[in-house]
Amino acid sequence: MLSRGLIQEQCTLVTYGLLHFLFTSSLPQHAALSLSVTRFKLVVASLNTFLVYSIVLLSVLLHNCC
């Protein structure tokens, strides 16, 4: 079983990677960077929360089935 710290670290890395991909792929090549730091943190926190709950749910489901 993975430790909580390791899961949280992996979630954070995945969150930043996903956010970077979604943000850069949605911008036109010539667009200026207009995302504020506060909004960026809000998006990261939301994605992180979603990923943590998804992993917890998946681990509970796997634990119950095996």
pLDDT digits (tens, 9 = 90+) for 21-43: 666 665 555 555 566 777 788 88
Per-residue confidence (pLDDT) for residue 26, from 0 to 100: 57
Per-residue confidence (pLDDT) for residue 55, from 0 to 100: 84
- Residue 17's nearest CA partner among 38, 36, 44, 41 is 44
pTM: 0.42
Per-residue confidence (pLDDT) for residue 51, from 0 to 100: 84
Query: Residue 23: which residues within 8 A CB-CB, separation 6 or more?
Result: 35
For residues 65 and 43, which has the higher predicted lDDT (pLDDT)? 43
What gap in Å lies between CA 66 and CA 64, rounded to an integer?
A: 6
